Amino acid sequence: MILLVDKPAGMTSQKVVAKIKHASPHKLKIGHTGTLDPMCTGLLPVLTDRDTKLTQFFPHQKSYLASIRFGIKTDTGDVTGETLQTSPLPTEEEFRKILPSMIGTCQQVPPMYSAVHVEGKRLYELARMGVEVERAPRTVEIFDLTYVDRIGEGEYRFSVTCSTGTYIRTLCEDIAAKMGLVATMSALRRTASNGFLLENAYSLEDVISYAEQNRLSQISLSAEGAFSHLPQVTVPQNGEHYYLNGGILTANRLTPSVSDGLYRAYSASERFLGLVQVEQGNAKAVFSAE
């Protein structure tokens, strides 16, 4: 099952998963597709059982509604931390003008308060011990950055669509640094993730209620539905058993004729089989729905 959960503030993503797992009368294999910090809210796709294998096939793009507060820099990169530095405030027009220049590919250094592993420990564990280590920059991409509104003096809201692995706290600091100022993230809500939208998510309270009643299937998405944007191919009846057992078919046995790419696979009787990867003339099952 694929569950779209609206994560509340003050809770880790792993805690959300644990609560759903505990509420279900069945033993579920369960995980999520992308960590949200405790202070952050919004869309958290949760996968169960066989569907936990789907993560690698989802679109690697996310969108957020973020708030930036100028004038302070904190040790955590957000308003929950201790103030390290202060600066003057920009005007609303100055902030609006800087946003287009941040769109594109850039190098971003993961913040110390993040879940990145370094020598067997997560960075936030080291940060809580007062230890700071050198972090290698990573390439991320900002696809869209749009001004939304003014919240208060020196505090603004903006929307951002970015690649997986982008830290919005770091983006806030980078925006301010480009203006010769400091800033910190004051709020964050994820509005889209992995091709899913927040507007289709359920509150954690509702998901837990459905789990307790053994009715999660009523609010879940199927793998077939989640990948409805992919083109469809049919596996021949005389090759179906071989294909489902890991055998590689020549792509010309699929109908219609296809080029390299990821497809939804169906049987000759129109039963959904899963996902098939076509590469260099060969077709291999990469996710089985059965």
The encoded tokens of residue 145 equal: 């950055």
Query: Is residue 79 domain-shared with residue 189, that is, in the same domain?
Result: yes
Strand 196-197 versus strand 183-193 pairing type: antiparallel
Number of H helices, E strands in the chain: 7, 19
The torsion of the CA quartet 225, 230, 232, 236, rounded to 10 degrees, works out to -100
Q: How many other C-beta atoms lie within 10 A of the C-beta of residue 30? A: 19
Model pLDDT for residues 190-222, shown as the tens digit of each residue: 999 999 999 999 999 999 999 999 999 999 999
Cα–Cα distance, 258 to 281 (Å, whole number) = 9
- Total domain count, the chain: 3
- 75 plus 50 within the same structural domain: no
**Amino acid present at 279:** E
Alpha-carbon gap, residue 233 to 250, rounded angstroms:
13
The bridge status of strand 41-48 relative to strand 183-193 is parallel
Residue with tokens 């759903």: 20
* pLDDT above 60 for 112: no
Would the pLDDT of 2 be above 60? yes
Contact 17, 31 (CB under 8 A): yes
pLDDT of residue 119: 58
Higher model confidence: residue 219 or residue 118?
A: 219
Q: Which amino acid belongs to residue 242?
A: Y
Out of 173, 193, 213, a domain closes at 193
Can you give the CATH number for the domain in which 202 is found? 3.30.2350.10
Same domain? 119 vs 186: yes
CB neighbours of residue 214 within 10 Å:
12
Strands 138-152 and 104-108: antiparallel
3-state secondary structure at position 127: helix
Nearest to 63 by CA among 35, 33, 42: 42
Cα separation, 282 vs 239, in Å, equals 13
- Residue 128 pLDDT > 80: no
State which residues form the domain around 114.
Answer: 61-193
Report residue 31 as tokens: 């995980």
Q: Are 287 and 266 in contact (CB under 8 A)?
A: no
Res 34: pLDDT: 86
Q: Which of 141, 130, 137, 88 is nearest to 108 (CA)?
A: 137
Distance between start and end Cα atoms, the chain: 13
Q: What is the pTM of this model?
A: 0.90
Whether the pLDDT of residue 251 is over 60: the answer is: yes
Does one domain contain both 186 and 264?
A: no
Asked if 72 and 184 sit in the same domain, the reply is yes
- Determine which one of 37, 51, 78, 174 is catalytic: 37
The answer on 247 and 213 residing in a single domain is no
Q: Do 92 and 188 belong together in one domain?
A: yes
Kindly report the backbone phi and psi dihedral angles of residue 79, in degrees, each rounded to the nearest multiple of 5, phi listed first.
Answer: -75, -5
* Residue whose token pair is 């594109």: 104
Q: Do the Cβ atoms of 126 and 119 come closer than 8 Å?
A: no
Cβ burial, residue 139 (10 Å; 0-12/13-18/19+): exposed
Residues 186, 202: one domain? no
Quick one: 179 and 126 in the same domain?
yes
57-98 pLDDT, tens digit each: 998 899 999 999 999 999 889 999 999 999 999 999 999 999
Mean pLDDT computed over every residue of the chain: 92
Is 206 marked active-site? no
283, 235: one domain: yes
Co-location of 48 and 111 in the same domain = no
Q: Are residues 68 and 175 in the same domain?
A: yes
Give residue 22's region: left, alpha or beta (phi > 0; psi -120 to 50).
alpha
> Which CATH number do you get for residue 244?
2.30.130.10
